[in-house]
Each structure stands twice: as C-alpha cells, then as structure tokens.
Amino acid sequence: MAIRLVRQLSEEQKELVKEVFERKMTPDRAEEISQEMGYGPIAEEFDYLRYHVDSMPAWTLPMSMAWILWRDIEEVTKLHDPYRQNNFRWEAFTFDPPTRMTPGSLPLPALARRSFRLKRLEPATFLSISITSYNGRAIPLRCKDAREAKAMLWDKLILGEITATALDVGFHAELSRLGA
C-alpha cells in the first residue's frame, strides 16, 4: 500500500529548506517567507482530529500503550503512523566540519556547527512512548512510565480483555512488492 502525503513542498519552499540547512537563514525566517509567498507553513503539524483514530477498529501496539498511559486520543493519534508521516518539524543538529582542508595541511580550528533540517516524524515505536513520557509532555494517568504500560498491555492480552492480531512482516512486504 502506497503512502499518500497530504501535502508536498513547492520548489520555492524546498529552496528555503536548503537555505536553512546551509545556515543562510533561520527556520522562523523561512516560515515567514513561505507564508508571505502564499504557500503556508513549511514545518506543519496537522490537527490530530483529522485522523479519527477513535473510530479505527484496530490500533498498533504503541497506540494501545498510549491509551493505557494517558487515556487521551490526542496522544494516541501522535503515535498513529499516517499522522507521523504527514507531520514535519524543524530539528536542530550539530555537525563537525573537517579537521583539515587536505591531507597533510595544517589543522583547522575545531568548530562544531549548528544547523536545522526539516524532518518527518519517524514511525511510532515503544521508544517513542518512552521519550514522550519522560519528556513530561503528557503525564501518565494509570502507569508511571512506558515500561509499566507495556506490562499492563501484555496482562490485558493474556487475560483476554483485549485481542491482538499480527502480520508476518516478510509476508506483508512481499505482498506490497507484488502490488497485492
């Protein structure tokens, strides 16, 4: 199954992203220019209500754990992969330039450079939940952390309070490749 993005960046927006990466402007300035050109935001987080995860017949493990932790549909949606695939954020990163211009030349001063890149959210994992719970963005209601939520999820599965299905990843990938 192909993933369809809700939006694509224009060529002008792609150029702004490049200029931010090259440290020619800040992400805030790139966002201002994009708005002035009439394109809207570059980094955008869509409203979680557009995804209607509360009416889905099944959730992924990270989504189920989020429900156990927070009982908050917004937090569940933030771990829904289609939501994550359509949301972009500016991410700061540091890189070290080469220490020498050419082999045998004098060393360059050690300067770590900070820049920004536009990053799509990664698919949700158990680590995504741990990071969220430890960053304090959402205070767990029923468990102290993601580890406890995972244990509670397994207990509910064992007791038959919830059911689970699984896909053989290799088989699923083969079906996708064949276009089935």
> In angstroms, rounded to a whole number, what is the distance separating the alpha carbons of residues 116 and 96?
14
Counting Cα atoms < 13 Å in the Cβ hemisphere of 8 gives: 4
Where in the sequence is the domain holding 142, given as residue range(s)?
Answer: 60-87+121-178
Check: pTM over 0.75? Answer yes or no: no
pLDDT score, position 105: 67
Give one DSSP letter per residue of 115-155, joined into a string. Answer: EEEEEEPPPP-HHHHHHHHHHTSS--SS-SSHHHHHHHHHH
Range name among 30-39, 50-59, 158-167 with the lowest pLDDT average: 158-167
How many structural domains comprise the chain?
A: 1
Is residue 161, in this structure, part of any structural domain at all? Answer: yes
Please give the structure tokens belonging to residue 154: 């397994």
Of the candidates 126, 125, 148, 145, the residue with the CA atom closest to the CA atom of residue 135: 145
Angle at 179 between CA 174 and CA 180, to 5 degrees: 80
Under a CB-based contact definition with an 8 Å cutoff, are residues 160 and 170 in contact?
A: no
Q: Is residue 33 part of a domain?
A: no
Q: For the residues 18-35, what does the mean pLDDT come to?
A: 94
Confidence band, pLDDT 50/70/90 cuts, at residue 2 = very low
Nearest Cα to 72, choosing from 55, 54, 89? 54
Model confidence at 132, pLDDT cuts 50, 70, 90, reads low
| Structural domain contains residue 82 | yes
Residue 66 has pLDDT above 50, yes or no: yes
Is residue 112 assigned to a domain?
Answer: no
